[in-house]
């Protein structure tokens, strides 16, 4: 392959002449020389063959065959082949901003169905067409609460994924929003601490179910206490767990958000992932993003159109609720295909399978000498074990045995260096679990 040359020297000369500039460097005169990069350090062009070989070599460094027990917000679920087959159809895959109702009824319908699925999952009235990821969705929910209540204090449970909490704080750095973190005690949210901080300045209480330690809980009391103080209640949820847990709507939450990666989107470092968001009907005017609505055309036929984005970007403009109007259409499509394939019963069975396998894993791991399984709280498919030594070291040793053993909690929480967070999805077989137990026992005996 010859080098890719976007412009010939003649092209460049003609363009410079047309705008009356002598050289390309002249275009950057406004930037002080000291601030300009000295060199971009771009090597000479390589052939296609050389590039492929070099990139394949890099890719070969990735571990792709480890048996995965890492969760921490992103889960290794099986993706039915139909998800890839349907989502990679070029009508879907190659479309950019496919929202013109006159030419994109298929896409709009798919997003409408996705919204419906999110409403059913969360037990809430309205869902938007998706956001970037679980963290941005949670940030948007927090901002909704600030706008709706006119208050500026937010209580965040420490069981909320640290990645999400970091995103919340980063996004709001230049806004005067006060965050108060409340602790997790033996896996559960400290209700007394939440109550202590709830006051007439509180815009929202944010909790996560299951929380970062995998513990599940009924947060109905937290939602009603928040409402009694005039605050909103926000729950970040794991969609697969909703196959067996009480939904945010049933618990009385106002807004539910979450990471939709588990719904048919492959694990990959940095995404693309999927943020979902649903809320009560009366809050819809403050919901950000896009919503596809069903309507009737001039011939009386049912059709679908974008409603919220039009309002935000073309009508409200600088008064829009959020600067993020993007959605993750292709990931949302995968999610709705995945959920359709699972069906209501399938999702329940899947959730049950995850729960049962995790419970089985607990039962065999607690027999490993020196290992304690934390059982102070019920869990879904993720749980915490305490090791007799540093969890980071154990994880490194387990990689040699073919396992991504889990997430060492010491990376996020002080004093938890010996704690390992493990997720067991439906993909983990009995054989893998037994082999994991034996390997862990061997590593701990070293």
Partner 1 sequence: MQVPDKFLYTKEHEWVSINGRTATIGITDYAQGHLGDITFVDVPKAGAVVTQFKRCATVESVKAASDVYAPVSGKVAKANAELAPHPEYVNQSPYEKGYFAVIEMSDEKETANLMKAAEYKKYVEGLT
Q: Are strands 372-373 and 302-306 parallel, antiparallel or unpaired?
A: unpaired
How many residues comprise the chain? 446
Query: Looking up tokens 């995404």, which residue turns up?
Result: 271
The single residue among 201, 280, 311, 437 that binds partner 1, judged by CB under 8 A, is 311
Rounded least distance, CB 314 to partner 1, Å:
9
Distance CA 270, CA 139 (A): 18
Does 295 participate in binding partner 1 (rule CB under 8 A)? no
What is the x/- site pattern for partner 1, positions 232-271, by CB under 8 A? Answer: ----------------------------------------
Window 132-171: contact mask with partner 1 (x via CB under 8 A) = ------------------x---------------------
Burial 412-430 (b: 16+ CB within 10 A, else e): bbeebbbbbbbbbbbebee
Q: Which is nearer to partner 1, 89 or 285 (CB)?
A: 285
Contacts 24+ apart (CB under 8 A), 116-121: 117/335, 117/336, 117/339, 117/340, 118/276, 118/277, 118/278, 119/278, 121/239, 121/242, 121/247, 121/278, 121/339
Residue among 301 and 319 whose Cβ is closer to partner 1: 319
Q: Residue count at the site for partner 1 (CB under 8 A)? A: 7
- Tell me how far, at minimum, the Cβ of 227 lies from partner 1, in Å: 17
One DSSP character per residue, 98-119 reads ---TTT-HHHHHHHHHHHHHHH
Interface stretch with partner 1, choices 20-28, 241-249, 308-316, 426-434 (CB under 8 A): 308-316
Give me the helix-helix angle, 329-365 and 430-445, nearest 10°: 60
Stretch of 108-116, 122-130, 309-317, 433-441 contacting partner 1, by CB under 8 A? 309-317
Instruction: Provide the terminal-to-terminal Cα distance of the chain, rounded to the nearest Å.
Output: 53
Nearest-approach distance from CB 294 to partner 1, in angstroms: 18
Angle between helices 329-365 and 105-122 (to 10 degrees): 30
User: Smaller CB distance to partner 1: residue 267 or 325?
Assistant: 325
The pattern of x and - marking residues 49 through 88 that bind partner 1 according to CB under 8 A reads ----------------------------------------
Rounded to a whole number of angstroms, the minimum distance from the CB of residue 315 to partner 1 is 6
CB of 319 to partner 1, least distance (A): 5
Nearer to partner 1, 152 or 311 (CB): 311
Closest CB 172 distance from partner 1, rounded Å: 22
The angle subtended at Cα 149 by Cα 143 and Cα 153, nearest 5°, is 65
Name the minimum Å distance from CB 307 to partner 1.
11
Considering only 186, 196, 285, 367, the residue that binds partner 1 (CB under 8 A) is 285
Minimum CB separation of residue 289 from partner 1 in Å reads 17
CB atoms inside a 10 Å sphere around CB 175:
9
Sign of the alpha-carbon dihedral angle for 399, 404, 406, 407: positive
Q: How far is the CB of 316 from partner 1 (least distance, A)?
A: 4
Query: Is-contact 384 374, C-beta < 8 A?
Result: yes
Could you say whether residue 396 binds partner 1 (CB under 8 A)?
Answer: no
Distance CA 277, CA 144 (A): 11
Based on CB atoms, which residue is closest to partner 1, 186 or 285?
285
Is 313 a residue that touches partner 1 (CB under 8 A)?
Answer: no
Cα(224)–Cα(211) distance, integer angstroms: 19
C-beta of 143: minimal distance to partner 1 in Å?
Answer: 16
196 binds partner 1 (CB under 8 A): no
**CB 151 to partner 1: min, Å:** 12
Rounded to the nearest angstrom, the gap between the alpha carbon of residue 425 and the centroid of all alpha carbons in its chain is 17
Nearest CB to partner 1, comparing residues 316 and 375: 316
CB atoms near residue 147 (< 10 Å): 15
Rounded CA-CA distance 264/262 in Å is 6
Q: Which residues within the stretch 314-373 sit at the binding site for partner 1 (CB under 8 A)?
A: 315-317, 319
Q: Which is nearer to partner 1, 57 or 317 (CB)?
A: 317
User: Which positions lie near partner 1, rule CB under 8 A?
Assistant: 150, 285, 311, 315-317, 319
């Amino acid at each position: 392959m010859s080098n890719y040359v976007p412009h010939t020297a003649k092209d460049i000369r003609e363009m410079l002449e047309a705008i009356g500039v002598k050289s390309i460097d002249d275009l950057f005169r406004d930037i002080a020389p000291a601030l300009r990069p000295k060199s971009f350090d771009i090597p000479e062009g390589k052939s296609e063959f050389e590039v492929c070989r070099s990139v394949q070599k890099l890719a070969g460094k990735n571990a792709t065959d480890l048996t995965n027990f890492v969760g921490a917000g992103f889960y290794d679920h099986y993706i039915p082949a139909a998800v890839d087959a349907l989502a990679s159809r070029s009508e879907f895959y190659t479309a950019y901003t496919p929202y013109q109702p006159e030419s994109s009824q298929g896409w709009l319908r798919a997003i409408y169905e996705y919204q419906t699925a999110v409403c059913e999952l969360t037990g809430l009235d309205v869902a938007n067409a998706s956001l970037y990821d679980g963290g941005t969705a949670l940030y948007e929910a927090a901002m909704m609460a600030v706008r709706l209540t006119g208050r500026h204090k937010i209580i965040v449970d420490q069981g909320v994924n640290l990645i999400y909490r970091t995103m919340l704080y980063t996004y709001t750095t230049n806004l005067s929003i006060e965050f108060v973190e409340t602790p997790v005690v033996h896996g559960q949210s400290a209700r007394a601490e939440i109550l202590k901080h709830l006051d007439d300045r509180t815009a929202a209480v944010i909790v996560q179910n299951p929380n970062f330690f995998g513990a599940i809980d009924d947060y109905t009391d937290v939602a009603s206490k928040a409402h009694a103080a005039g605050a909103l209640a926000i729950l970040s949820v794991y969609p697969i767990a909703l196959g067996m847990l009480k939904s945010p709507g049933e618990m009385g939450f106002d807004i539910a958000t979450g990471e939709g990666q588990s719904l048919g989107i492959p694990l990959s470092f940095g995404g693309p992932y999927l943020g979902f968001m649903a809320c009560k009907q009366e809050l819809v005017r403050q919901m950000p993003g896009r919503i596809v609505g069903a309507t009737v055309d001039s011939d009386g036929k049912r059709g679908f159109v974008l409603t919220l984005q039009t309002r935000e970007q073309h009508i409200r403009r600088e008064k829009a609720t959020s600067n993020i109007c993007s959605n993750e259409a292709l990931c949302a499509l995968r999610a709705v295909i995945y959920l359709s394939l699972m069906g209501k019963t399938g999702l329940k069975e899947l959730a049950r399978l995850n729960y049962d396998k995790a419970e089985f894993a607990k039962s065999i791991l607690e027999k490993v000498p020196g290992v304690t399984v934390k059982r102070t709280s019920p869990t879904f498919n993720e749980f915490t074990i305490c090791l007799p030594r540093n969890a980071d070291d154990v994880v490194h040793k387990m990689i040699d045995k073919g396992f991504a053993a889990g997430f060492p909690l010491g990376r996020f929480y002080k004093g938890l260096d010996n704690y390992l967070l493990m997720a067991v999805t439906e993909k983990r077989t009995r054989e893998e679990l037994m082999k994991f137990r034996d390997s862990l026992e061997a590593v701990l005996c070293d």
